[in-house]
Amino acid sequence: MKRVKGLWNKTVFPLFLMILTPHVALIMWYVSVHCEGSYSVFLGHFAGKPFYTSIIELWATMRPPSQFSVLVLFGFSVWSVILMKLLPGKIIKGPLTPKGNIPVYVDNGFLNYIVTMATFSIITVLLKVQGFSPSVIYDRFDEFIATLQIFSPLFCVLLYLKGRYWPSTTDNGVSGNFIFDFYWGTELYPRIFGIDIKVFTNCRFGMTVWALLVCIHALKSFELYGFVDSMFVSAVLQLIYITKFFWWEGGYMSTIDIMVDRAGYYICWGCLVYVPTFYASVSMYLVQQPVHLGITWSSLILLTGILCIAVNYLADLQKQEVRGTGGKCLVWGKRPNIIRAKYQLENGKEKESILLASGWWGLARHFNYLAEIMLALCWTVPSLFVNIMPYSYVIFLTFLLIHRSYRDDDKCGDKYGSFWVEYCQMVPHRIVPLLF
């Protein structure tokens, strides 16, 4: 039974995801642009044809990488790396790793984001004056997907080899199963020429490109129809969320993405390809499917979305503050209810950490996930209920976060043992208070 579970977790599931996800990334674009945002129209395109010819036809609709797409993506990557290196920021420390290392970062993510978005706005105005528009990226997005689909797996191969033969820290290693090692990664905090790879792929590329694409989609929509409130509401909520992300980037360095997930296909390919294609799919959909919501619905959705973003942010911040002050702070006006949980590093050294069992962390063990799902729903609802396609992201996110809550329970159970059991008894629900 254990062998079957191992085979599933370490080989079949990773292989399945690595085969499936590149198609999904392409399908999101194809359905938005060629199928009126409808999965049934999409299926109709390939009805009656054998599965493999449908797949070949689908990939054949995508134009190959062009000089334009390669230059834009390469130029943007170089820009991001330069900003990462040059912009000032406080030196912050990540959490202690299982091998006893402490990663160090320059906290310049918010500045990086502001400089990039401001530069994009200036470029947009300059291009518009000349009669051009950055919305050409929407028009030629298939070339960008093709470029990402070729370069990102190659980048993951490089990361696999780097972690295996030239690791940056002792938090590296292989399991001996190539499929799993490639998928999961061989190194926790790889750095190349001092550039932290996960900060680059997750924050400076993935999250920033998501924000830029939302702006490009909104611009395209404006060029086509003028002001459309559904696009406005969806774009504003996504941009507030992404801005919040960069404001809190220091806290992101203590999340599962960074402290647990290694730099492999799962997280790096995900941030390089999946975030631009899948996460930005709602606004991509709205370009061709505008909806007029009216002022009442627009305001209601906008306010609910902002509330959810605030809850998500405050929950993440609460954990960070309680740990940062060693529990000497107030949570919702009261002294926090905490467990001082002991755990051991791989070298046997004993350490202590704090588990917060009040405030947002007393409602459910991952109440922040509920707010995350709700806010994604808020920026999707402006598309109304004509098609399932725009809901793909929020459906995916729900599965991802439920799965993650189980993963985190396993991870924390292994790390904290009886202290985690005690916390689970105090806070019995994973994500939704009283329900789940």
Binding stretches for ligand NDP (CB under 6 A): 95, 255-256, 312, 316, 319, 353, 355-356, 361, 365-366, 368-369, 372, 397, 400, 404, 408, 411-412, 415
For residue 7 the two structure tokens come to: 């085979």
Decide whether 158 or 400 has the Cβ nearer to ligand NDP: 400
Smallest distance from the beta carbon of 83 to ligand NDP, in angstroms? 23
Q: Do the Cβ atoms of 267 and 196 come closer than 8 Å?
A: no
Please name which of 134, 13, 22 lies closest in space to residue 72, comparing C-alpha atoms. Answer: 134
Exposure string over 165-186, b if 16+ CB within 10 A, otherwise e: eebbbebbebeeeebbbbbbbb
The label of the residue with tokens 């999250």 reads 207
**Least CB distance from residue 373 to ligand NDP, whole Å?**
8
Dist CA 235 CA 245 (whole Å): 15
- Nearest distance from C-beta of residue 266 to ligand NDP, angstroms: 12
**Residue number with the shortest CB distance to ligand NDP?**
255
User: Which amino acid would we find at residue 71?
Assistant: L
Write a three-state SS string for 348-415.
CCEEEEEEECCCHHHHCCCHHHHHHHHHHHHHHHHHCCCCCHHHHHHHHHHHHHHHHHHHHHHHHHHH
Residue nearer to ligand NDP on the CB measure, 69 or 283: 283
Q: Quote the least distance from Cβ 181 to ligand NDP, whole Å.
A: 22
Q: Which residue lies nearer to ligand NDP by CB, 197 or 357?
A: 357
- The first and second tokens of residue 70, run together, are 């390669």
Angle at which helices 229-247 and 109-129 pack, to 10 degrees?
Answer: 140
Surface-to-core class of residue 420, CB atoms within 10 Å of its CB (0-12 exposed, 13-18 middle, 19+ buried): buried
Q: Smallest gap, in angstroms, from Cβ of residue 154 to ligand NDP? A: 24
Residue 122 Cβ, how far from ligand NDP at the closest point, in Å? 29
Classified as helix, coil or strand, 30 is helix
Nearer to ligand NDP, 133 or 353 (CB): 353
Nearer to ligand NDP, 77 or 353 (CB): 353
Toward ligand NDP, which CB reaches closer, 218 or 253?
A: 253
Helix, strand, coil shares of the chain as percentages rounded to 5? 65, 5, 25
Q: How far is the CB of 246 from ligand NDP (least distance, A)?
A: 13
Q: Judged by CB, which is closer to ligand NDP: 33, or 376?
A: 376
